[in-house]
Chains A and B, each alone.
Chain A
């Protein structure tokens, strides 16, 4: 399935590095999301973009910086991360139809991030 793609699939970085995660959706959706998935914890919503505007910033540290240049692409820029930021970062997209609660989110494969 290639509806939502993410690159890279794996990333190892030092605490002083700067890197970016990329997400692309091929479903024609108008909303995109970043989630953090840590072991034994529920998925944590980080950011939401709807029609390329950020509508949710879930108290995420400023060392994570999202960017949504168009409705198909979403980036997560990383700098001066901490080891506890190691996790699987998932991108998702959905079509917000205006019908309350009717949008279903479709997920990418994730980027496995390790911070040394």
Chain B
């Protein structure tokens, strides 16, 4: 069965620090990959997605993610975080053959001003 693992449950950073959130999935076939963000009191929003092509994907608000097929990973990065990036981040995976969108358990990011 497919599963998604986010290694960090809670990350605390100071403003301007660099961010990398890990995401690994288990599925042998071709997948589509997503990162969603949930700001406090707000709904889940799509941050970026990978379907095909360049494995380095750029999303909104300066975020990017790199798909490394050999490592079954899709880590999220941002070179310099801001206080407004405080939120919960969810990685999700879906097989291109259809099926469910499988979510990781989420990583809570707290950015100190």
Contact = CB atoms under 8 A, between A and B. Distances in A.
Contacts of A4: 43
B44 A104 contact: no
Interface of A is mostly: loop
B4 A42 contact: yes
Interface in A5-45: 40-43, 45
A105 B36 CA distance: 10
Interface residues of A, number: 22
A66 interface: no
Given A100-B96, A101-B96, A45 B44 contact: no
Contacts of B103: 42-43
A42 B97 contact: no
A100 B51 CA distance: 10
Given A42-B4, A45-B100, A109-B43, A104 B105 contact: no
